[in-house]
Every structure is written in C-alpha cells, then in structure tokens.
Chain A
C-alpha cells in the first residue's frame, strides 16, 4: 500500500508541473478553480507522504537505537538524514535534563523490568561484547549468557540476542 502511495505521489507531482505550465494561459474563472483544486490535491498528497515518512523515521529511532543500519540510510534523502540527527540530538538533550545528574535513558526498559540480570541466548554471531566490570563475552550463535539487563536491551531489540525466560 505504501508503494502505491509512492507511485501516486510521484505521478501527481509530474502532473502538477504540467498544470502549472498550462494555467498561465487560462482565463476562464472556473477552469482556474479546477486547476487550483488539482494543485491543492497534489500538494496534499505529497505533503502527507513526506510526513508519514518522517513519522516512520522517528519510530526507527525508538526501535533501533541511535545508529541506523546502512541499508535504511541508503533509502533516506539527505534532508531526512539531517532531520533524524536533529531529532536524536533533541531526544538526547531531553533525556539528559530529566531525572538526576546523568539523565535517564528513555529508550530502555520499554517493558517493566522484573530483575537486574537476565538470561539471554545469542541468535547470530556478533563478536565480542564488553560488560561494565571489564569482562568480555564472546557472542556466538546459540551460546547462552547471564548478563545485566541494561546492556543487553539494545541487542535484544535488534534481534541479535533473545531473551529466555526460565
């Protein structure tokens, strides 16, 4: 459905250019009205499409974390990338100002936590992963570990680890 919207928006954008070129010659009142309606319509479609893209990018920040994978960045236009970095900055500023000296990471703990340490199983090879007290853990496929919650949350959301309930 999104792809259809895309096609329609692009097509109507072309149409807008054509209409604009022609409307310099019309001098009949209602025809001008008609063209005006079309232009407004095209504008509305394009604006709504772009706005929807922004909403999805915003959702990406909450789901994926601060760094987007390259394939997604490839599909975004330059303005969208800039918008994303500015949104990241304002979110970070806000998180720093809330709750104490160091700030509060709002993207953690989306579901209420039950314990500090959790059991995780690794789904794909990730490499080495360092925890706060300095020990490194090698994450290979299907290895199971018992790790502090806040470190793994990001990786679980990205699909690298899997939370196992005992």
Chain B
C-alpha cells in the first residue's frame, strides 16, 4: 500500500488543502477568542454554561474557545462577531523562548500542529503577524538540522524517543528521511531487484486470519 498510495498532503502557507486529512485535523484545534456582540441562542451549540438550554444568549465580551474552521468562517465580516486572540504559544513570552533555543521545546505537547496552525493564524489581521511569521520560520530553521541528522542516522532502531518532541510537519520530514535511508540500505544489500509482496498484502493477510479466528 505504501508504494502506490499517495494521500493528499497538507497545504503550504496560509492556504489549506480542501481534501487533505492532515489539514482537517489541524483546523480542528481550538483557539481562544471573545464574542464582540451578543450571540443569541448559541449557547447550546458551543457547550457553554451548564443547563443553558436553547434559549439563552451569550453576553458580549465573554471568552470562547472555538476551533479554527469556525473562527475562519465567523471572522471575515469586519469583525462584528468574534475577535480572535493568539493562543499562548504564539505570544510574546513563548516567542522569546523560541528565539533563545528552539530545540528544547516539546512541540508535540504544545499542540501538534505548530507550523500549520501558525500559518493559518496569519489569515486573521493581527498587528503581530510579521513577528509570528518570523518566529515560526526561525524555529523551523533551528530545529531542522537536528531532525535531518537523526533521521539519516537512526537505522533499524526504535525512534520513538526521537520523534516524541516533534510536531506533525517535522514528523513527516523525519519519516521521509527514514524512508530514504531504508531504501538506500536495501539497495546496498542488493534487495532492490528483489520483488517483494506488497505491504498491503502482508497486512491484509494478518488481518484476515484474525477475522477468521475471532
């Protein structure tokens, strides 16, 4: 399956790919915001307030946590409805941490879509946009070297310790590096010309046995 299956990849920069599953998962992440005007009858949908029922309205200025796709949809009408704030990882404090040393940060824990989400944030007008963009870029540059190094030199090892602190984009890069390394080793061993059963068949065979047994 791995050889012939080409899934739709995530989008680049401020644009998302409509059909990309990675982008869909990424846009599910929540970000904080404030309601600019009263939002009648929205309480039930957003799960705010215990027992609010379907007749209440959210007063002006209350804080909300909404997923990215909703924020993008409700934002673009001259900001009458919602105003978005930056999640804390893109704020000033964390930006200084990143500029100090980006390698120590556990990006997976901070929301596994740091780069993608950050690129989407640039869609909302925000006075700090250039700095955010700059920070994301610098973080990537400083972490890249370590990713490339570790992906090219960890052959046949358990890599979970290495990838634990990477976010999704970095993990994809890591896997690409690993695949290149494995292919090269295969070629060196002379296995390049050996026809093998496709991995799909092997996985399928295993699953079929469990279906028959259970």
Contact = CB atoms under 8 A, between A and B. Distances in A.
Contacts of A153: 195
A71 B208 contact: yes
Place the interface of chain B in its size category: 35 or more
B74 A30 contact: yes
A63 B201 contact: yes
Interface residues of A, number: 44
A151 interface: no
A59 B4 contact: yes
Nearest to B39: A30
B21 A37 contact: no
B197 A157 contact: yes
Contacts of B42: 31, 34
B69 A41 contact: yes
Nearest to A153: B195
B5 A56 contact: yes
B5 A64 contact: no
B48 interface: no
Nearest to A112: B193
A114 B194 CA distance: 9
B155 to A, nearest CB: 21
Contacts of A41: 69-70
A103 interface: no
Interface of B: 1, 3-8, 18-21, 24, 37, 39-42, 45, 69-70, 73-74, 77, 80-81, 190-198, 200-202, 204-205, 208, 211
5 contacts: A34-B70, A41-B69, A64-B200, A111-B193, A158-B201
Given A33-B77, A34-B42, 16 more contacts: A28-B40, A31-B41, A34-B45, A34-B74, A44-B18, A47-B19, A55-B5, A55-B8, A59-B1, A59-B3, A59-B4, A59-B5, A60-B1, A62-B3, A64-B200, A157-B195
